[in-house]
Amino acid sequence: MSSSRVFSPLYLLLSISLLLQLAIALNPIFHECNTTSFTPNGTYNENLNTLLSQLNSTTPLTGSGNGSLGQSPDQVYGLAFCRGDINSTVCQACITSAAIEIQQYCQYKEEAVIWYEYCQLKYSNLDFFGQIDYREAFYYPYFNNVSDPVSFNTTVMKLLNIVEGEAIISPKLFATGTLEVGNSTTLYGLVQCTPDLSSANCETCLDWIIGFVPRLLYGKEGGIIMTGTCELQYHTYPFFTT
């Protein structure tokens, strides 16, 4: 007797949704490396490989992880985290990709960071835990312009300030929210800080990048600003899970 599995429309939709999430998770947005190199196959290289493997194993369990390995001058510090609304399966896929690609894009560099839509991974030969990092930063505006940039930008700033206030008191230093723009558009916003920051440093970092929104993303229907320790996103479509 042969048997076959019947897939419900809901199951197919969920499967397609997960595949799309994984596809996005495996595509880096940006990366940054310093110019100082370490010796291939040396002690620092060995410590880095071990630490990246540890972060790849531990981060998906709670959504974040950090640690250090070795002794100076070969000590390496690393941190990884996933976006606060992402499940462990997508988080695992993202961190696995990041651990591989950060070494490809920044081969033999003592310090590097790589950003994805759903996760971030960084390492350094210096202890960076708890410190605000403005050095590595980038922004990406979505190309469509809105019809009323003054009103739209006012709503963007209002929403980002609201979710910032929620994020800095959240255990994950993460928050999302929505606001209506006019009668037919919903604005979606998200902010997050790296889990090693204090609430006060998270607020300082978010204040800094939110302050750039009018200059870098003015009149755009969506955009991203990311640094080594905090990030923001907003769009006119739902891009996060609730």
Q: Is 37 a member of any domain?
A: yes
Contacts of 13 (CB under 8 A, 6+ apart): none
- Does residue 4 form part of some domain? no
Question: Is residue 130 one of the residues assigned to a domain?
Answer: no
Residue 55's pLDDT is what? 97
What integer pLDDT is reported at residue 134 of this predicted model? Answer: 85
Query: In this structure, are 13 and 99 located in the same domain?
Result: yes
How far is 211 from 194, CA to CA, in rounded Å? 19
Cα 33 to Cα 121: distance, rounded to the nearest angstrom: 12
The residue from 97, 124, 151 where one domain ends is 124
DSSP letter for each residue of 25-36:
HTSEEEEEE-S-
Q: Are residues 25 and 108 in the same domain?
A: yes
Do 168 and 221 sit in the same domain of this protein?
yes
- DSSP, res 145: B
pLDDT, position 137: 85
Read off the CATH number of the domain in which 25 is found: 3.30.430.20
- Please tell me what DSSP assigns to residue 37: B
From the CB of residue 239, how many other CB atoms can be counted at a distance below 10 Å?
16
Q: d(Cα 200, Cα 114) in Å, to the nearest integer? A: 24
Do 76 and 111 share a domain, yes or no? yes
Check whether residue 175 and residue 224 sit in a common domain. Answer: yes
Q: How many domains does the chain have?
A: 2
Contact 190, 167 (CB under 8 A): no
The single residue listed with the structure tokens 């003015």 is 218
Same domain, 176 and 89: no
Question: What pLDDT shows up at residue 22?
Answer: 54
End-to-end CA distance of the chain: 44
> Is-contact 167 201, C-beta < 8 A?
no
Phi/psi for 118 (5° steps) reads -110, -5
Whether residues 149 and 209 share a domain: the answer is: yes
Structural domain including 28 reads 9-124
Q: Is residue 129 part of a domain?
A: no
Residue 142 falls inside a structural domain: yes
104 in the same domain as 177 = no
Residues 6+ apart with CB under 8 A from 11: none
Same domain, 170 and 114: no
Residue 241, in any domain of the structure: no
From residue 217, how far is each of 114, 145, 180, 210 by CA, in Å? 22, 10, 19, 10
Cβ neighbours for 104, distance < 8 A, ≥ 6 positions apart: none
Does 120 map to a domain? yes
Helix (H) or strand (E) holding 146: none
Q: How many CB atoms sit inside 10 A of residue 114's CB?
A: 27
Q: Tell me, yes or no, whether 32 lies in a domain.
A: yes
Last residue in a domain, options 124, 157, 182 = 124
Q: Are residues 84 and 157 in the same domain?
A: no
Can you read off the two tokens belonging to residue 48? 């880095």
* pLDDT tens across the length of the chain (242 residues): 333 334 344 333 334 444 455 555 578 999 999 989 999 999 999 999 999 999 999 999 999 999 999 999 999 999 999 999 999 999 999 999 999 999 999 999 999 999 999 999 999 999 999 999 988 788 999 889 999 999 999 999 999 999 999 999 999 999 999 999 987 899 999 999 999 999 999 999 999 999 999 999 999 999 999 999 999 999 999 999 87
Which stretch of DSSP H or E encloses residue 67?
Answer: strand 64-69
Choose among 23, 17, 25: nearest CA to 120. 25
State the alpha helices, DSSP H only, in 66-221.
88-105, 149-167, 199-210, 213-216
